[in-house]
Amino acid sequence: MLNRRTMVLGSLFLTQSVPFANAAEGPGGVTLMPTPNGGIQPQAAVDSRGVVHLLYYKGDPAAGDLFYARMQPRETRFSAPIQVNSQPGSAIAMGTIRGGQIAVGANDRVHVAWNGSNKAEPKGPGANPNPMLFTHLNAAGTAFEPQRNLITWAGGLDGGGTLAASRTGDVYVAWHANPKSDGEENRAVYLAHSTDNGQTFARERRINSVPTGVCGCCALRAFVDRDGKVYVFYRAATEKIYRDMYLLTSADKGATFRSEKVHPWNLNACPMSSSSMTQVRTGVQAAWETKEQIYFADFRPDGSRLTPPLSAPSGGNGPRKHPIVVANANGQTLLAWTEGTGWSRGGSVAWQVYGPDGPLPTLQGRQPGVPVWGLLTAFARPDGGFTLLY
């Protein structure tokens, strides 16, 4: 994103949203798509060939299953689904932020990680033994390998873990936990790292050296940029009231991390929030929630902020949560979020496309239909447009 966007967006954020019927679709526009097969919490990743890989959830919100499907370039339908978790009922959707994450690694191998449900096996250590589970697609692309628990000692899951992978064989699974169970202000971020495309993982270790705590029921977001730098975005819980967003950045494949405070929020409660990251020309772009509004900013490869936090357009239907941000090859970015969602409550999806000089007024909209425990995902199409799933 160009720096000029910082000057332009402030004067354009009051643009009113257009109804869904008037939103641009098709080539160069935004196409909305419900999650296939009545699923929820879609997560998408695109491989080097342009194949879209989709993960979604079905079943009991407290103990359900993850499914995988793919869509070839320029097609409009996903393939028949494949179940991801090898133990039925070992995934969880309740709370919105604990579901599955998907990433594409070396040789376009598909990796999946998720918080295990209370039924999930194998168990982790400690008083809260819910596992951080991992699997990947077999070489033939026909089935997933048996699920594995990556927690060896840093148990005590609550909010959602995260997953990222590089094209050179590194796979990163991160979660936050407190093995001593003495409060979220003492939670920390832990990372398990694989250097052989997910075949084996090193024992997890703490990666946030600053004692910020971690918001107990909020999700992490990991990302690997085009140069192999690793990012982990999380919400703090310092003294239980400082729910600031922090960005951890590593230029040495996760060996060390730099910590950057991104955005403050004083709140004596857990907002059950999630965040998103995407590659842009200047580095990476991140989107997050603060005070029931969605913000986004560009960051340099070292994790320092390039632009100030900018808010999504005004208006809407209720609190804004669960942003997704995706960039295309033309320098445009789709920012989308949910409105009105909450505990056991669905809502609407809203979106805005930005160009290098600011928001594009014809590429915005709002549509009801986000299900209970729903999340969003999106991908850029070969025609330059975006497909947004809910």
Task: Work out the pLDDT band at 43, boundaries 50, 70, 90.
Answer: very high
Let me know whether 229 and 158 are in one domain. yes
The residue written with tokens 């425990």 in the block is: 373
Are residue 368 and residue 316 in the same domain, yes or no? yes
Q: Are 235 and 218 in contact (CB under 8 A)?
A: yes
Segment 7-31 shows an average pLDDT of: 42
Q: Is residue 279 part of a domain?
A: no
Residue 255 covered by a domain: yes
Q: Which residue has the higher pLDDT, 13 or 181?
A: 181
Q: Is residue 371 part of a domain?
A: yes
Number of domains the chain contains: 2
Per-residue pLDDT averaged across 100-117, rounded?
Answer: 98
Residue 265 domain flag = yes
Give the mean model confidence (pLDDT) for residues 38-47: 98
Q: Distance between CA 365 and CA 18 in Å, rounded?
A: 5
For residue 7, pLDDT over 70 is answered with no
Sorted by sequence, the CB contacts under 8 Å of residue 390 that are 6+ apart come out as: 32, 33, 34, 35, 42, 338, 349, 367, 369, 370, 371, 374, 375, 376
Is 39 inside any structural domain?
Answer: no
Could you tell me if residue 197 is inside a domain? yes
Q: Is residue 80 part of a domain?
A: yes
pLDDT average, residue stretch 17-22: 30
Please check whether residue 19 lies inside any domain of the structure: yes
Contact 353, 30 (CB under 8 A): yes
> Is 169 found in the same domain as 69?
yes
Question: Any residues with CB less than 8 A from the CB of 137 and at least 6 apart, and which?
Answer: 68, 109, 110, 111, 143, 144, 145
Cα separation, 116 vs 85, whole angstroms: 10
The verdict on 313 and 192 lying in the same domain is no
- Residue 21: pLDDT band (50, 70, 90) is very low
Residues shown for the chain: 390
305 within 8 A of 299, measured Cβ to Cβ: yes
What mean pLDDT value characterizes the chain?
A: 92
Q: Which residues, in sequence order, are bridge partners of residue 29?
A: none
Same domain for 259 and 355, yes or no, is no
Q: Verify that 318 and 210 share a domain, yes or no.
A: no
Give the residue from 274, 300, 329 where a domain finishes: 274
Same domain membership, residue 249 and residue 190: yes
- Same domain (yes/no): 360, 251: no
**Residue-by-residue DSSP string for 285-339:** EEEEEETTEEEEEEE-TTS-BSS--EEPPS--SS-EEEEEEEE-TTS-EEEEEEE
> Do 48 and 12 reside in the same domain of the chain?
no
Q: What angle do CA 203, 205, 208 make, to 5 degrees?
A: 160
Provide the residue type at 368 as one letter. Answer: P
DSSP structural state of residue 158: -
Q: Print the SS3 string covering 83-94.
A: ECCCCCCCECCC
- Domain residues for the domain of 259 are 44-274
How far apart are alpha carbons 178 and 161 in whole angstroms? 13
- Please check the confidence at residue 156 and state whether its pLDDT lies above 70: yes
Same domain as 296, residue 237 = no
Strands 386-389 and 30-33: parallel
- 1 plus 53 within the same structural domain: no
Domain boundary among 274, 302, 330: 274
Question: What is the tens place of the pLDDT at every residue in 157-206?
Answer: 999 999 999 999 999 999 999 999 899 999 999 999 999 999 999 999 99
Q: Does 242 share its domain with 367?
A: no
Instruction: Give long-range contacts, CB 8 A cutoff, 24+ apart: 146-150.
Output: 146/86, 147/85, 147/86, 147/87, 147/90, 148/122, 149/116, 149/122, 149/123, 149/124, 150/113, 150/192, 150/201, 150/204
The model scores a pTM over 0.75: yes
Q: Which residue among 253, 274, 295 closes a domain?
A: 274
More confident residue, 40 or 10: 40
Q: What is the mean pLDDT of residues 275-281?
A: 96
pLDDT for position 317: 81
